[in-house]
Structure 1
Amino acid sequence: MQHPETHLALHHARAADLHAQAEAHRLATAARPDRDLRIRLGWTLVELGLRLATPRSTALAH
């Protein structure tokens, strides 16, 4: 059986840890470049690569 003071101390330590993790996540998210732009650029490069890798239908006919 835990004493109320021990339980309260553990609660405060856990709460401080969660606040620190939330702040670290917030700072990491704010420092990250715009994800939407990166995603659009990535899919554009994938589409370009697929177009370059796929033979043209006119080349198949000759």
Structure 2
Amino acid sequence: MHPETHLALHHTRAAALRAEADAYRLAAQTKRPYDFRTRLGWTLVEVGLRLASPGPAFAH
């Protein structure tokens, strides 16, 4: 393949990848309402782990 052709294909592919990354970033920004659900989910996991773990031993 001629070097200039290879370079042109490289530039085209790089531009396509940048456009795809930009589109992904924009799509990821619109999914921010799930942050509350994520925090709530992890809080429930933490509470469940605390309830499931054995507590400190009490002296009688």
* TM norm structure 2: 0.59
Q: Considering only CA atoms, is the larger Rg found in Structure 1 or Structure 2?
A: 1
Which consecutive unaligned segments of at least 5 residues does structure 1 have? Answer: none
Partner of 1:23: 19
Instruction: Give the secondary-structure state (helix, strand or coil) at the position aligned to 1:29.
Output: helix
Q: Is 1:48 the counterpart of 2:44 in the alignment?
A: yes
* TM norm structure 1: 0.57
Which consecutive unaligned segments of at least 5 residues does structure 2 have? Answer: none
Alignment of 1:31-42 (within 5 A): 31-32=27-28, 33-34=31-32, 38=35, 41-42=37-38
More helix by share: 1
Runs of 4+ in 1 over 6 A off after TM superposition: none
* Paired residues, number: 52
Identical aligned residues as a percent: 6
